[in-house]
Amino acid sequence: MAKRSLLSPLKSVRYLFKKPKTLRYPFELKEPAQRYRGFHLNDWEKCTGCGNCADICPNEAINMVEISELEPKLGEKNERPQLDYGRCCFCGLCVDICPPGSLRLSRDYFHIHFDTDTFVFIPKDEKTDKEKFLPPGKYSVLKASLSHRKEDYEGFASDLRYTLFEPERVQMPEVPPEERKLSFIEQVIGYNKEEAKREAARCLECKLCEEACPAHMKISEYIQAIYEDKPEESLKKIFEDNPIPSICGRICMRYCEDACSLRLRGEALAIRWLKRYVADTIKDYETALELSPAESTGKKIAVIGAGPSGLAVAYFLVLSGHKILVFDDLPGGGGMLRIGPPLYRLPIESIDKDVNYIASLGVEFKFSTNVGQDLLFEDLLRDYDALYLGIGTTVSRSTKVKNFEKCLLALDFLKDNKIGEKRKVGKEVIVIGGGNVAMDVARETLRLQNMQYPDEKVSTKTVSLEDWDIMPATEEEIEEAKVEGIQFNPGWGPKEVNLDEKGHVKGLLCMKVKSVFDDQGKFAPTFYEKEEMLLEGDMIIEAIGQAPDFSFISEKLFDKLEFTEMRKVKVDENGMTSIPGVFAGGDIVNTNLDAVTAIADAKIASEGINRYFIKGIKNP
Amino acid sequence: MSKNVNVGKGHSPRELELYFGPQHLGMVGNFSITLKVEGDRISEASANPGYLHRGFEKLMEYRTWIQNFPMVCRINVVEPDSMEMVYSMAVEKLAGIEVPERAHYVRSIYLELARVGSHLFGLWAYANMLGFDTVAQWAMYHRDLVLDLFEELTGGRVYHMYIWPGGVRRDFPEGFKDKVVTTLHSIGGCVPDYDATFFENRLFYERAKGIGKVTRGEAKEMGATGQILRATGMKYDIRKVEPYAAYDKVSWEVPTREDGDAYSRIWVIRDEMIESVHMIFKLLDAMPEGEVYNRIPNPFKWAIPPGEAYVRCESSRGELGLYMVSNGKDKPYRVHFRTPSYPHGLTVLEKALKNASIADVGNIMISLYVVAPEIDR
């Protein structure tokens, strides 16, 4: 046992002469640590209003409040978190779940006020609220409060290594570029069950995607069902808003993924691939969905065009109990999707799976039927209670440069390759255009070249007015085309097609682009006429856009059809055109020019048609 | 408050009932003891917990697995860290989450820092209660230096919220190792002063020797652990019995004393602090590089498979256990803490107070190292 003394404690007397350790606040301040968890900071410019902070807060200290002066951007909410410091425990879970990393904690911890309401507080930071954050010279600790804070006083901040969400997506297995460019094999292999569940588990359920989706699909619900391994339930949720998941699961433009909050600092949730997983997993939609049309209303509706909007409107309306007939020029359903997206992206079986299901509900399809030639638009107008135009844009535009008639048009090329006989291609092909169709054409050409000229030197190049920064094709398409070996010539415009003495194509003379758009943002390209470049090639395909074909409508009726300034068919809030009883949707109505917007149009029109019938307005 | 004389009911006519706490200067925490006294001798003591009941175990059934993480620490204000540890251990066991090697070391270092901080706080309480104000002030100051380290590491001084399922929340900031070493050296440099002024002080010996004596047999019988058991000469420490974190990676000793009284217990606390500091140095040297956190599943979708788990660790007060049941949902079905203060503050205290004098109530209670909030969960 230790020694015991009565005198040894006197040793501590010398402490009387040491400097006291206690800090004399407020004259002496203690600097909080770098990671201090004090009051919140929120960068309003980065914050998307997703509300994950409010959801995770264990004390319900965070409320999302609407900020009316904020313009809600696409895929964002004009809501910002509001803190109640009577409840907050400064745990920082809100920081670790914040997908954009906008919410942080500062090193401030003083707030003195007579009014308890001031403890309820909407955090901002010095970037968005300069008044309340002061430089060291103007800051006084005596006035320290939530409205008198130090500038540049960051504390506990988000770190991607320690976040509560998973920033990286489950990689989608793909056929490697060297292999896939030799055939039309589907590039994306698709998730298996385990991968799909793991990817679905990343969803934070903030639903920003649902706002961004033109069709407002119930994304977080169908993803939750995948996570719970209930693909049937997931499919049911999908079919509430979108009857062509097998198609959309492959080629959707993914407005949802652009809005996904995980994308801000990581990779967006693979929403499109998850939809595809559900559509592919369920072999038989009928038994999984158990849908049946309502009691017959006796109304007959003709749908012109079996593209996405025609298919969707037929599906929604057949469920309401109407009799639907769909007319299409092509031998099968899908419209532009049947001929446009190459087989490696959208196989025919995937299209037919969706179309066949819609047919099984009682929709009658009249394929290979051209309205205008095989039957008259006016007759349809007379015989049916309502009409829906989902005709899309079916005519390829041409550059009309000198010798343009020697060029091929994109749609003809794509159509033959997909549902007809594969085209013979040149060894050195030039594709004019920088959009997704041009990418499809170029990548198809490359495959055909590899198939038709094995072991020979071949090349495919694109030339587009748009430079890299404004190229209209999606990043993904451009990237994939690059790795497959497509050469790009952005910022060049075609001047004339050069021919050899026999009249065969030998190249394309291009000139440097000065600007593509004018001051108003309208398409009006200008060129440096002197700066020329000759692209050599034995075949040229023009893929610079499409236009609709209204020739099946008689002139008298066509005059009644009103158009918008953008040369789109004008429809009201019910999707009805200026001709009563005639509804429209899809590429002839919207400027997005994609499948999911067409479905959204179809949904509006199908509801409009139902309302139109209830109102009892007679057919004109 | 005194009770009427109960003649004829088996009570001696001079017996009084005395309420000790919750408003009493000698009482630490919201807690009271009802004493039956004859003169200044205590004939019977009965502990009265419940003043601080916040229903943690019930509240936890209404919060998701991750939302419980900032709450468990509140069960023990003085040493919140062991609470985080057992919670994470239980969740990891139920959900089958692996913890990176480095995180084990970080956890051990962090928990030992917490033990030092907690013991310094305990020393403050004990010395303060005995009137050794100088030592109490030193202990409080040195505890603050440990809190500075916590602030640097975790961003919080008292509730650190640092150990979470899957590892720890952040790695050491730059230069943290050196700071730990410097701080602990500066505290350790004062040990001779502490000894001279307090531990070797004759007054402390006179005041604590033979007070609140508990024999080893009694201690075991009543479920006492920690210093109370170790002060009776038994080398019982969960860190040795069932090593967790990185406690089996370095060598260290379990300090014990033989007499089982307040004097021995306080000495055990002192020796433990020194042993912890040595252990931290060894851990810092042996610590590997690498990750400190394996990401847990998405908290909004996280459901833990059905099952039950019992985990335990050595908190600064003794064996801390957690029994947790999951029924496969996103929240625990049942959570139960086995806190060391429960047996110490109820059974052991009642036993130790028997035949003690009123003046020694605080002395005994604080030497038993009871934290009232641990009893009321």
Q: For residues A76 and A211, what is the distance between their CA atoms, to the nearest angstrom?
A: 8
Inter-chain touch B300–A55, beta carbons under 8 Å: yes
Let me know: does A390 contact A335? Beta carbons within 8 Å: yes
Q: What's the pLDDT score for residue B13?
A: 58
Cis omega (within 30 of 0) for bond into A135: no
- Chain A, 205-224: which have a CB under 8 Å from a chain B CB? 205, 224
Please calculate the CA angle A549-A555-A557 and round it to the nearest 5 degrees. Answer: 95
pLDDT band at B15 (very low <50, low <70, confident <90, very high): confident
All domains in chain B, ordered by first residue: 56-375 (1.10.645.10)
Give, rounded to a whole angstrom, the gap between the first and last alpha carbons of chain B. Answer: 28
Say which residues have a Cβ less than 8 Å from residue A14's Cβ, sequence separation at least 6.
Answer: none
The predicted-structure confidence for A412-446, as pLDDT tens digits, reads as follows 898 888 888 888 888 999 999 988 889 989 998 98
User: Chain B contact for A37, CB < 8 A?
Assistant: yes
Task: Tell me which chain B residues have a C-beta less than 8 angstroms from the C-beta of A4.
Answer: 200-202, 205
The predicted-structure confidence for A37-89, as pLDDT tens digits, reads as follows 999 999 999 999 999 999 999 999 999 999 998 887 877 889 999 999 999 99
Mean pLDDT of chain A: 90
Amino acid identity for residue B184 in this structure: L
Inter-chain touch B300–A21, beta carbons under 8 Å: no
Say yes or no to pLDDT of B2 above 50.
no
3-state secondary structure of B102: helix
CA atoms within 13 A on the CB side of A487: 11
Let me know: does A85 contact A116? Beta carbons within 8 Å: no
Let me know: does A577 contact A562? Beta carbons within 8 Å: yes
User: Chain B contact for A55, CB < 8 A?
Assistant: yes
Say yes or no to pLDDT of A385 above 70.
yes
* Residue A487 β-bridge partners: A461
Q: What's the pLDDT score for residue B262?
A: 92
Give how far the C-alpha of residue A221 lies from the chain's centroid of Cα atoms, to the nearest Å.
Answer: 18
Q: For residues B266 and B205, what is the distance between their CA atoms, to the nearest angstrom?
A: 11
Inter-chain touch B155–A156, beta carbons under 8 Å: yes
Q: What's the pLDDT score for residue A2?
A: 61
User: Chain B contact for A156, CB < 8 A?
Assistant: yes
User: Chain B contact for A338, CB < 8 A?
Assistant: no
Q: What's the pLDDT score for residue A7?
A: 84
CATH architecture of A300-394+551-615: 3-Layer(bba) Sandwich (3.50)
Inter-chain touch A165–B70, beta carbons under 8 Å: no
A395-546: CATH topology is FAD/NAD(P)-binding domain (3.50.50)
Question: Which of A341-345, A363-367, B189-193 is the least confident region?
Answer: A341-345
Task: Tell me which chain A residues have a C-beta less than 8 angstroms from the C-beta of B193.
Answer: 11-12, 15
The predicted-structure confidence for B33-77, as pLDDT tens digits, reads as follows 999 998 889 999 998 888 888 889 999 999 999 999 999 999 988
The predicted-structure confidence for A239-273, as pLDDT tens digits, reads as follows 999 999 999 999 998 999 999 999 989 999 999 99
Query: A30-164 has which CATH code?
Result: 3.30.70
Q: For residues A98 and A54, what is the distance between their CA atoms, to the nearest angstrom?
A: 10
A425 CA: distance to closest CA in chain B (Å): 50
Please calculate the CA angle B184-A92-B118 and round it to the nearest 5 degrees. Answer: 30
Inter-chain touch A56–B299, beta carbons under 8 Å: yes
- Mean pLDDT score, A177-203: 90
Sole residue written with tokens 């066949």: A356
Say yes or no to pLDDT of B6 above 80.
no
Q: What's the pLDDT score for residue B114?
A: 95
Say yes or no to pLDDT of A546 above 60.
yes
B331 CA: distance to closest CA in chain A (Å): 12
A299 CA: distance to closest CA in chain B (Å): 46
Amino acid identity for residue A289 in this structure: L
Please name the member of A8, A91, A227 whose beta carbon is closest to the beta carbon of B201. A8
Give how far the C-alpha of residue A2 lies from the chain's centroid of Cα atoms, to the nearest Å.
Answer: 76
The predicted-structure confidence for A512-530, as pLDDT tens digits, reads as follows 998 888 887 778 888 888 8
A177-289: CATH topology is Fumarate Reductase Iron-sulfur Protein; Chain B, domain 2 (1.10.1060)
Give me the phi and psi of B353, to 5 degrees please: -80, -20
- Mean pLDDT score, A218-239: 94
Give how far the C-alpha of residue B45 lies from the chain's centroid of Cα atoms, to the nearest Å.
Answer: 23
% of chain A with per-residue pLDDT over 70: 99
C-alpha distances (whole Å) from A167 to each of A44, A262, A265, A302, B56 are 21, 6, 7, 47, 33
Q: What's the pLDDT score for residue B12?
A: 57
Q: Which two tokens stand for residue A164?
A: 């509560």
Say which residues have a Cβ less than 8 Å from residue A127's Cβ, sequence separation at least 6.
Answer: A43, A44, A45
Q: What's the pLDDT score for residue A372?
A: 87
3-state secondary structure of A7: coil
- Mean pLDDT score, A502-519: 88
- Chain A, 98-137: which have a CB under 8 Å from a chain B CB? 105
pLDDT band at A619 (very low <50, low <70, confident <90, very high): very low
pLDDT band at B1 (very low <50, low <70, confident <90, very high): very low
Which candidate, A261, A241, A262, places its Cα nearest to that of A73? A261
Ranges of each domain in chain A:
30-164, 177-289, 300-394+551-615, 395-546
- Mean pLDDT score, B283-312: 94
Mean pLDDT of chain B: 90
Q: Rg of chain A over CA atoms, in angstroms? A: 31
Report the b/e string of A162-194 with b at 16+ CB within 10 A: bbbbbbebbebeebeeeebbeebebbbebbeee
Which tops the pLDDT comparison, A12 or A280? A280
Domain A30-164 identical in fold to domain A300-394+551-615: no
Say which residues have a Cβ less than 8 Å from residue A238's Cβ, sequence separation at least 6.
Answer: A217, A218, A222, A245, A275, A278, A279
Please name the member of A5, A57, A161 whose beta carbon is closest to the beta carbon of B200. A5
Q: For residues B365 and B348, what is the distance between their CA atoms, to the nearest angstrom?
A: 9
Q: What's the pLDDT score for residue B232?
A: 93
Inter-chain touch A89–B205, beta carbons under 8 Å: no
The predicted-structure confidence for B120-160, as pLDDT tens digits, reads as follows 999 999 998 888 999 999 999 999 999 999 999 999 999 99
